[in-house]
Chains A and B, each alone.
Chain A
Amino acid sequence: DAGVIQSPRHEVTEMGQEVTLRCKPISGHDYLFWYRQTMMRGLELLIYFNNNVPIDDSGMPEDRFSAKMPNASFSTLKIQPSEPRDSAVYFCASSRTSGGETQYFGPGTRLLVL
């Protein structure tokens, strides 16, 4: 299996622009997670999906952030409008089940908002 795939790997944009991050989970995994990692706050869960349905989005920082999972093999995380404080590494991860199950992380998208 190719593992979790994310694109783009790097994104540099200007404040106010829309940013869309993409993720393809491992086939057969029912759970998909979006994380944000910064030096200050560590690895934070933003939202997770079970069978394409958003279950908990309490980690989404504000309305500028939105996530979708239109099918089992694709998810997007969108930031509109972007702000410099959104600069971080965004990871997508998937797992077969949620409980006591290993999460497999994608390589991450390094986002820099100028």
Chain B
Amino acid sequence: GQNIDQPTEMTATEGAIVQINCTYQTSGFNGLFWYQQHAGEAPTFLSYNVLDGLEEKGRFSSFLSRSKGYSYLLLKELQMKDSASYLCAVPASGGSYIPTFGRGTSLIVHP
């Protein structure tokens, strides 16, 4: 199975940069997802990394190091609306590819 670890909570200031880390252990790697979930809402897709390196998408970037079992989500120019939970998810190996979700990191952005 997969084991995913993320910090429980982080706080940051509006306009700043924040990095949310995710470490994982899996028997076979099939990519890594990041989802955003605002309070009271459903998770929504942010990014998918399957190769090492940084992928940038506007204010959000996602990094992956397969050899280290490590990923991070980088949020730049933070806005109040970025306050949400950020979930790291790793698909299973062995053919099913069904993702296991981490517990999520609750990000609080304050003025």
Given contacts A55-B96, A56-B98, contact A100 B45 (CB under 8 A): no
Q: Chain A contacts of B96 at CB under 8 A? A: 55-56, 98
CA distance A42 to B5 in the complex (A): 12
Interface of B is mostly: loop
How many residues of chain B have a CB within 8 Å of chain A?
21
Binary contact track B95-111/A, C-beta < 8 Å → 1, others 0: 01111111110000000
CA distance A106 to B104 in the complex (A): 18
B50 touches A100 (CB 8 A): yes
Interface residues on A, range: 10 to 19
Q: Chain B contacts of A106 at CB under 8 A? A: 42
B102 touches A99 (CB 8 A): no
A42 touches B91 (CB 8 A): no
Partner of A98, one of B42, B48, B98, B103: B98
